[in-house]
Amino acid sequence: MIYLSIKKAAKLLHVTPLTLRNWDKRGILKPYRHPANNYRVYRLDQIEGFLRQLELSKAKMAKRKMDLF
């Protein structure tokens, strides 16, 4: 199991660490806590799954067509 620091996870997601902290508060992406220092850490497979979800939602939005009159 590979764990990433909040800084590395934020870099992979192209967001700031503050955004990840806000997502944690809102329940969007939940971190694990390091047992020794209680820092936020994210599993690599969790981040990859989240990125796949984002790509799928972008693909769905691209398929939508808008009728213009």
What's the pLDDT at 60? Answer: 79
Whose CA is closest to 41, among 2, 1, 4? 4
Structurally, at CATH architecture level, domain 3-62 sits in Orthogonal Bundle (1.10)
DSSP state of 67: -
What's the pLDDT at 67? Answer: 62
Count H helices and E strands in the chain, helices first: 3, 3
Per-residue pLDDT of the chain (69 residues; tens, 9 = 90+): 899 999 999 999 999 999 999 999 999 999 999 999 999 999 999 999 999 998 888 887 777 766 666
Q: CA 28, CA 50: separation in Å to the nearest integer?
A: 9
What are the structural domain ranges in the chain? 3-62
